[in-house]
Amino acid sequence: MSATIIVGVDGSEAGNRALSYAKRLATLIGSECELQLICVVEWSPYTFQTTEENALRKKQKHIETQNAQDRVINPALESLKEAGIKASGTVKFGKAATILNNIAVEHNAEQIVVARSTEQGLSARVFGSVTASLVMSASVPVTVVS
């Protein structure tokens, strides 16, 4: 029986701790475990922009995708490959909690591993953190690494 673990990564110190924990879990579970690394770039489409503005945003989205792939996903995948852990990774755009949960459901994941949010201040109290939102809405267990 295989086990899939979704790992939210962003290249930060906290994200690296979540990745390390997921790596440890995969080692304990064994060869039937696969980690799916997901880097979510918060992005919302604006429908009120001009055609030129949308074209510029599309170009910027492509640049940000490539940057996240090169700086976050690829180095993490290389590290996991060297450790003999099955893994895949992708960059997505949108609301992180929603994206992580949807991917977990789509792939019938055992759990989601994320880092504790570093958001503080008024915006975190008013809008909530990604981590808190994910914990409250996830369809699968969520492990929060501090």
Compute CA 69 distance to the chain's CA centroid, rounded to the nearest angstrom: 12
**pLDDT mean over 58-69:** 90
Look at residue 42 in the predicted model and tell me its pLDDT. Answer: 79
Helix (H, G, I), strand (E, B) or coil at 144: strand
Give percent of the chain above pLDDT 70: 87
pLDDT digits (tens, 9 = 90+) for 33-56: 999 999 998 766 666 677 787 788
pTM to 2 decimals?
0.86
Q: How far is CA 32 from CA 4, 66, 108, 127, in A?
A: 8, 30, 14, 38
Contact 84, 106 (CB under 8 A): no
CA distance 126 to 3: 36
Helix (H, G, I), strand (E, B) or coil at 146: coil
CA distance 135 to 105: 14
Task: Map 101-136 to HEC letters.
Answer: HHHHHHCCCCEEEEECCCCCHHHHHHHCCHHHHHHH
Listed in order, strand segments (DSSP E) in the chain are 3-8, 33-41, 86-93, 111-115, 142-145
